[in-house]
Chain A
Amino acid sequence: MQLLHLMILLPFLFVVFIPFLYRRFNSQLHTGWFVLFIPLILLLYLVTFIPKVSNGNTIFVSMPWIPSYHIDFTIHMDGLSLLFGLLIAGIGTLVVLYSIYYLSKQREALHNFYVYLLLFMGAMMGLVFSDNIFVLYVFWEMTSISSFLLIAYWYERDKSRYGAQKSMLITIFGGLAMLAGLIMLSMISDTYSIREMVSGNRVTAFTSHDLFIPAMILILVGAFTKSAQFPFSIWLPDAMEAPTPISAYLHSATMVKAGIYLVARLTPVFGGAYEWFWLVTGVGLVTLLYGSINAVRQTDLKALLAYSTISQLGLIMSLLGLGSAALYYGLGDEAAVYAIAVFAAIFHLVNHSTFKGCLFMVVGIIDHETGTRDIRRLGGLMHFMPISFTLTIIGGFAMAGLPPFNGFLSKEMFFAAVINVIKMDFVYNNFIGTLIPVLAWIASAFTFVYCMILIFKTFKGKNKVPKVEKPIHEAPMGMLIPPLILGLLVILIFMFPNVLSAYILQPAWSGVLPELAEKGKLQIEISAWHGLNTELWMTIGVIVVGTILYLTLRKWYRVYLIYPEAATLNRLYDNALKIMELFSRRITDRYMTGYIRDYLVYIFVFIVVMVGGSLWLFDGFVYTPSMDAPVNIYEVSLVIAMVISALTVLLSKSRMTAVISVGALGFFVSFFFVLFRAPDLALTQLVVETVTTVLFLLCFYHLPQFKKEMSHLRFKVSNALISIAVGIVVTSVALSANGTRLFPSISSYYEDAYVLAGAKNVVNAILVDFRGIDTMLEILVLTIAGLGVYILIKLRLSGRGRDKNEEAK
């Protein structure tokens, strides 16, 4: 364990103290102030690594966890994980600060909140720094669980619980798929370490492996569910029931980027395959379009932001897919061109975290100050909340991709990447391939529209104060500081993109494409926004078309009503759950009838099918009568007598006949034992049968006569068929077993009983000497049965029995 491990596990360690701090200090001091130090310390600690990592070094420290399975908590810090680490710690700090002002000290269960939040932070840290895939999976699921807890923070609300359950089901589904994929990956690559998978010569051997494509698809399912890609995106809008700091932190800046991280991290492994290119790019683009189109129709601010998050995540995902073409083209100069898409992805990832975090916090402020997040009830807040308005403009314009904000830069690079894609030969001849820039452009136009809705419908227009519950005013300064910092970053990144690029983005870029980085092909200077190129014309087009669309929104808004509500993904999910529940209930109701006869039928049919079937399938039936002993007239007549008495039991109408027939059967059995030279058995059987018959008679004296069986003929026929089948199976097993004797009996050993045990009765010697333990336990069985009988008769606790007794008295 080294300092780095300790730092990454710090949130987990601090979790223990939160309830104590809450109980001891909460009346004086908001618990959040104690928590604030954890991400701050983490952030400062991680910042110290920036110089080292930006020089191209990586840090690799290992701590054994389950050494015998080669599962170690190994930290691998390169540019990519450091970037994520900084995001998590940085935005974590701001979110904790924001939550101190957002959540009430008196009304909220703060200890729960901060425990969950720190669990999440620690899990996220572990996720991005783990090198071992199984440790990564552990942290991955931990983020799902802590997210579940945080979404249902106000657990008394139905919608919170619904949202939490939905996100849990979907992300855990993806997580399990990913686990399967990771196991396959470890089988392909023969290592659990991502670093070793990525490194050099292993990669080429992967693509030909049979499990390569299944592993890729399963891991992508995990990444897509976590990052809310189409069609797994439906959990994200419902996760907006969480407190706003959580929405800002988990559902815009960090957790939803875990899938992006995984895709970026495994790009060197899978990126060379064109299936990966199409899957990641395709799903990303569909998500981008789906999210941006759906965001426009939302009336709830947080839902709008949720869909915009989905859309932006799709953008980042598609950029990662486009960038993977660099690996497809090997290490040539062409590769360097496509590799810029990966840089754009990383750049936009950072930008998105800043402006989306800022926007969520502002929406939280509006909610906090006006009591509503409904766009239709808001309006004209500009004069009451000038700082929030400014922040919304910064965040909104950045999201729309306008200068002078950071979103502009990454959006330009996105356009550049989608234009480049047409140059690829395996895309060029493809209709869908040429469609990529068009789709990207349409999605950007819709992005512009919902950004304008977000800004102007809330802050401009008529003041609808009467509809708002509280007197409106600007938020307290403490609440505004975190979004102000993020807003400042949005502008600063635009002003000095190359500083960020040199120290943080470039190392992350080389982390995604290590082979190209070694060749020194990953060089970029972000200044392209000076030139008047295709990308800029596309942006201008977006602005023009977006403005027209926004201004005429009321006219074409009806288009959304055409799409049937029943076909939405949410409805699909709800119905699927309902149908699954109904279906399993139906099935269970079908076979769990409650009738003991049915269960017996299952058991007998199973025996017949399994035993009879395997006898038949594997030619198990052997019949060799030559080994038989000669047939004897006594035995034949005994057999006939027994069959007759057994049939009498079957056919008798009176219970007395049946009991006596079974008794007769027992006595015949003891005759058999006489014939088969078993005197002890004959004696025991005689005695036992007598006692049993007496017992039968004693007990059933109190029972009613057999009623005529009310069952219809089919019932009896099926019973008869089943029992005949069972009889045939038993006979054929007996015949086959008799026909194949593998080795002689060991009984000759026991025939030395006089020498070995001093006994002349061999059977008795076996019972009490050679195999005495059997006898002891058999005595125990008899004792227990006796006690059971005694208790059954004596102990009367049940209500009805007691009543009867009392009546009798």
Chain B
Amino acid sequence: METLMSIFVGVLVAIGTYLILTKNLLRIILGTSIIGHAVNILIITMGGLKKGGPPLLWTKDLTYADSLPQALILTAIVINFATTALFLVLSYRSYQVLGVDDTEKLRGIDDE
């Protein structure tokens, strides 16, 4: 299972990287979003996918899934959300002000 998930994470990262390398601002943000998902999946995979109950003590399971990666991911999701929201609004504003969403054209002035 972990092998499959690792390959899957690799595929997601590759797709996200490709999107980041394109010129369109929206694609770049979508790419970062995909990489964010990939990282979250990677964290939980590395925590081990051995079966066990959810880490809720009232279920009285014998084993629980690892709770620490879950807490870490929860933090990561929120932070990822915050930055994504900020970037979205930033790109929206930059399009409003500058009128382009192509990073090639967002180069500033030629020669300093």
Contact = CB atoms under 8 A, between A and B. Distances in A.
Interface of A: 594-597, 600-601, 604, 623, 625, 627-632, 635-636, 639, 642-643, 646-647, 649-650, 655, 658-659, 662, 665-666, 669, 672-673, 676-681, 684-685, 688, 691-692, 695-696, 699-700, 702-704, 706-707, 709, 711, 719-720, 722-724, 726-728, 730-731, 734-735, 737-738, 745-747, 750-751, 753-754, 759-763, 766-767, 771, 774-775, 778, 781-782, 784-786, 788-789, 792-793, 798, 800-801, 804
22 contacts: A600-B20, A628-B3, A646-B11, A649-B15, A658-B27, A658-B30, A665-B37, A666-B37, A677-B53, A691-B81, A695-B84, A699-B91, A703-B25, A706-B26, A719-B21, A719-B22, A722-B17, A728-B14, A737-B46, A738-B6, A762-B56, A763-B67
A680 B68 CA distance: 12
A639 B8 contact: yes
A703 B85 CA distance: 16
B42 A688 contact: no
A767 B75 contact: yes
B42 A723 contact: no
B14 A724 contact: yes
B66 A731 contact: no
Nearest to B12: A646
Main secondary structure of the interface of A (DSSP, over half): helix
Contacts of B108: 594
A625 B37 CA distance: 24
A245 B8 CA distance: 79
A516 B64 CA distance: 87
Given A597-B21, A692-B33, A781-B82, A763 B70 contact: yes
A732 to B, nearest CB: 8
Interface of B: 1-27, 30, 33-34, 37-38, 40-42, 44-58, 64-68, 70-71, 73-75, 77-86, 88-93, 95-98, 101-104, 106-108
A623 B2 CA distance: 11
Contacts of B83: 781, 785
B14 A639 contact: no
Given A691-B81, A692-B84, A738-B46, A778 B75 contact: yes
Contacts of B24: 706-707, 709
B1 A635 contact: yes
A676 B46 contact: no
Nearest to A631: B1
Interface centre among A685, A692, A699, A704 (most CB of B within 10 A): A699
A673 B38 CA distance: 13
Contacts of A734: 5-6, 9-10, 42, 45-46
B77 A681 contact: yes
Contacts of B79: 778, 781-782
B42 to A, nearest CB: 6
B7 to A, nearest CB: 5
Contacts, number: 274
Contacts of A672: 41, 44
A630 B57 contact: no
The 3 closest A-B pairs by CB, nearest first: A727-B14, A731-B10, A785-B82
Nearest to B59: A760
A763 B17 contact: no
B26 A658 contact: yes
A695 B20 contact: no
Given A596-B106, A681-B70, A702-B92, A735 B3 contact: yes
Given A720-B18, A723-B18, A800 B97 contact: yes
A759 B55 CA distance: 11
B74 A681 contact: yes
A649 B78 contact: no
B57 to A, nearest CB: 4
A631 B51 CA distance: 11
B15 A646 contact: yes
Contacts of A650: 15, 18-19
Contacts of A696: 88
Given A703-B92, A751-B57, A745 B48 contact: yes
A650 B34 CA distance: 11
A595 B17 contact: no
A629 B10 contact: no
Nearest to A782: B82
**Most A CB within 10 A of own CB, among B24, B55, B96:** B55
A590 to B, nearest CB: 14
Given A709-B22, A781-B82, A761 B55 contact: yes
Contacts of A730: 9-10, 13, 38, 42
Given A709-B23, A727-B12, A734-B46, 5 more contacts: A601-B21, A699-B91, A700-B92, A731-B7, A781-B83
Nearest to A731: B10
Contacts of A628: 1-3, 49
Contact of B55 (A632, A647, A702, A751): A751
Contact of B8 (A643, A658, A659): A643
B37 A798 contact: no
A738 B2 CA distance: 8
Contacts of A601: 21
Contact of A731 (B9, B34, B40): B9
Contacts of A630: 1
A626 to B, nearest CB: 11
A731 to B, nearest CB: 3
Contacts of A747: 55, 64, 66-68
B33 A695 contact: no
B55 A763 contact: yes
A666 B24 CA distance: 21
Contact of A738 (B8, B45, B84): B45
A766 B80 CA distance: 19
Nearest to B106: A596
Given A632-B1, A753-B57, A595 B104 contact: yes
Contact of A678 (B5, B22, B42, B54): B54
Contacts of A594: 107-108
A653 to B, nearest CB: 11
A745 B68 contact: yes
B88 A595 contact: no
Contact of B6 (A679, A735, A754): A735
A17 to B, nearest CB: 46
Contacts of B80: 688
